Structure 1
């Protein structure tokens, strides 16, 4: 911290925070930041944060207009002289904006996905486009560009308000043994690509299944689809009609998705839009080669030809070619895996995220005191 500046005092409001978010709070606390957290007590990492010595109190927001939650936040803000309030989801932002009305405090919000914010959306004006939002912390440059491209009557959000801080990971989180996938019966000569995602539009599962049609019969490529896809009848029909249907297996929803990716030989993500997908980071942390589309923040994460291969969106032929080239070249697959592991270690680690977040909070506090 700069001893000549006022030290930040920060309140973070979230829900059931994931591991990178939880470790950010812990890292900020260990770095000497005066931080308090309000989070859903049912979240799996709530006790982890508490046991690390971070001041944390329970809150379960039911929506953007949760009056009870907003009053709890306001009471917390009155309890000490906070300089920054950071929200990690839209409902927390809407409630914290109402709770902090009339108070001298800076407002920050995190955004990890592209889309669903626009000038014709009333909800956007009580969240991300609210004039009292001081910074939007974007998980990738792609998310940042999305906000910079929003226009209203010829005007746009000030570039000063939009920043990019990658969500950091720690390689020590990815030391658990790979899952047992023997139940799926892949042959010993198979090169299995894992694909993990939710059953929703834009995830590209159909494009991926169609990609199998472009593979030669002697290709070693097989697919393991992980996620809540078992009820997707359209996808099931697509798989049945594939001439390589026997190469595609559905694992359903798994709580050990990172370890499933580790048990496979590579990961493919054919999404049409992504912020900075955690599943790709997890696979790279397990030294797995990856094939991704040039959507959202994925080209920032995966350097084409170094950590894996990047192909155009909705291009089944390109997906097939990329998977096949990696599957037929073990040395290339190993090189991609090793490079990806090093990239997460150096460029997407928790320590960097903590340091950049500390600098942001100090900058905001200095602006407040100016």
Structure 2
């Protein structure tokens, strides 16, 4: 009988909702007999769940990228615990973890959930993802794996795609909420976007798309997130013939309830995504998605089956997608049903756990 797999994980689990897809991986691996220790914030909600499941938790999440104290903690734990693998999930964990693992037999595994900003000619890349000490890189989308494999001198097989899956049961208790509080009429067809204020989200193209919506249609765009009402965006809104149908909520804790109450979900990203959590959440809630054709997200939605996929940076195409969903309520409903089924069958957390387990078993069996 082979020895149980032993892993040391370093990640931040303070935000319970956003951390859930990742945290549930390790709860699943524990059930498969993997011995797990996690370095994180010990007062987080998931730290308590880990301990209840028999996972050892160490309070010592690195606070800066080059922290001697963190490196000493990690290295001592690696030596004493004789781990098979060290899994690193954020920039500070990666910087300190790689240094701590120097000349130790442990396999070093990094996580990458962003498409872009990896270049073989960039010296800083060799301090993290292209560091020769790294054994494997878990990519959250095929597009990220392809990005690594295009790099000169990058060893084929080092990057592997394992999507962060979701469990539909997480969304069973999400109730609808009243959207009229945002000035939206009862009979409106509401298309919601949940995003943060980053240029990669393509918000200006999304807001501009409302210019191409016939003014007699009750299509309303609801934007959920901090900072989306920037000067640039509000300037576009002010000139829109449908400016009264564009609504901003700011930051909301009930984002999922808002999405559940919507007719469709839209994301106009122009780059950088892997598979966006907000889109997966909408699909898990059975809400039809309208997204752009960019690396990463294009793997999520099958155009014409589980939603609509249009060209990026194309307001007119986004508008046409919105009108299509409005004009065809049965089709919109079908997309929502199929989107939910796609998460259940293709992007579920159990497949993620199995993918991790297979990778860890492979690395455990490697010699040297």
Q: Is TM > 0.5 for Structure 1 vs Structure 2?
A: yes
How far does residue 40 in structure 1 lie from its aligned partner after superposition?
2.4
Secondary structure at 2:248 match in 1: strand
Secondary structure at 2:37 match in 1: strand
Pairs within 5 Å for 1:232-247: 232-247=230-245
The equivalent of 2:67 in structure 1 is 66
Cα distance in 1, alignment partners of residues 13 and 230 from structure 2 = 27
Is 1:269 the counterpart of 2:267? The answer is yes
Pairs within 5 Å for 1:146-225: 146-151=147-152, 155=153, 157-175=154-172, 176-225=174-223
The TM-score, its normalising length taken from structure 1, stands at: 0.94
How far does residue 214 in structure 1 lie from its aligned partner after superposition?
0.8
The equivalent of 1:86 in structure 2 is 87
Is 1:113 the counterpart of 2:111? The answer is no
Q: Which 10-residue stretch deviates more, 163-172 or 258-267? A: 258-267
Cα distance in 1, alignment partners of residues 270 and 208 from structure 2 = 15
How far does residue 42 in structure 1 lie from its aligned partner after superposition?
4.9
Is 1:122 the counterpart of 2:120? The answer is no
CA deviation vs aligned residue, 1:305-338 (integer Å, no higher than 9, x gap): 0110000110111000011101111100110010
Aligned Cα RMSD in Å? 1.5
How far does residue 230 in structure 1 lie from its aligned partner after superposition?
5.2
Pairs within 5 Å for 1:351-370: 351-368=350-367
Q: Which 10-residue stretch deviates more, 63-72 or 33-42? A: 33-42
Q: Is the 8 A contact 1:138 1:166 kept in 2?
A: yes
The equivalent of 1:291 in structure 2 is 290
Cα distance in 2, alignment partners of residues 19 and 225 from structure 1 = 24
Cα distance in 2, alignment partners of residues 279 and 228 from structure 1 = 14
Secondary structure at 2:366 match in 1: helix
Cα distance in 2, alignment partners of residues 64 and 123 from structure 1 = 13
The alpha-carbon distance between structure 1 residues 231 and 314, as it changes in their structure 2 partners (threshold 3 A), is closer
Q: Which 10-residue stretch deviates more, 257-266 or 304-313? A: 257-266
Cα distance in 2, alignment partners of residues 78 and 362 from structure 1 = 20
Q: Is the 8 A contact 1:220 1:328 kept in 2?
A: no
Is 1:31 the counterpart of 2:32? The answer is yes
CA deviation vs aligned residue, 1:49-68 (integer Å, no higher than 9, x gap): 22222111112212221111
Cα distance in 1, alignment partners of residues 229 and 356 from structure 2 = 41
Cα distance in 2, alignment partners of residues 53 and 232 from structure 1 = 46
Cα distance in 1, alignment partners of residues 99 and 132 from structure 2 = 12
The equivalent of 1:229 in structure 2 is 227
Secondary structure at 1:38 match in 2: strand
The alpha-carbon distance between structure 1 residues 123 and 91, as it changes in their structure 2 partners (threshold 3 A), is farther
Cα distance in 1, alignment partners of residues 367 and 293 from structure 2 = 39
The equivalent of 2:143 in structure 1 is 142
How far does residue 290 in structure 1 lie from its aligned partner after superposition?
0.6
Which stretches of structure 1, 4 residues or longer, exceed 6 Å deviation after superposition? none
Q: Is the 8 A contact 2:70 2:96 kept in 1?
A: yes
Cα distance in 2, alignment partners of residues 334 and 97 from structure 1 = 48
The TM-score, its normalising length taken from structure 2, stands at: 0.95
Cα distance in 1, alignment partners of residues 169 and 75 from structure 2 = 37
Secondary structure at 1:202 match in 2: helix
CA deviation vs aligned residue, 1:100-154 (integer Å, no higher than 9, x gap): 1111111101100112222343332111010010111000001111111223xxx
Q: Please list every run of 5 or more consecutive structure 1 residues that lacks an aligned counterpart in the other structure.
A: none
Cα distance in 2, alignment partners of residues 36 and 199 from structure 1 = 35
Give the alignment partner of residue 254 of structure 1, picking from 252, 255, 267: 252
Cα distance in 1, alignment partners of residues 229 and 211 from structure 2 = 23
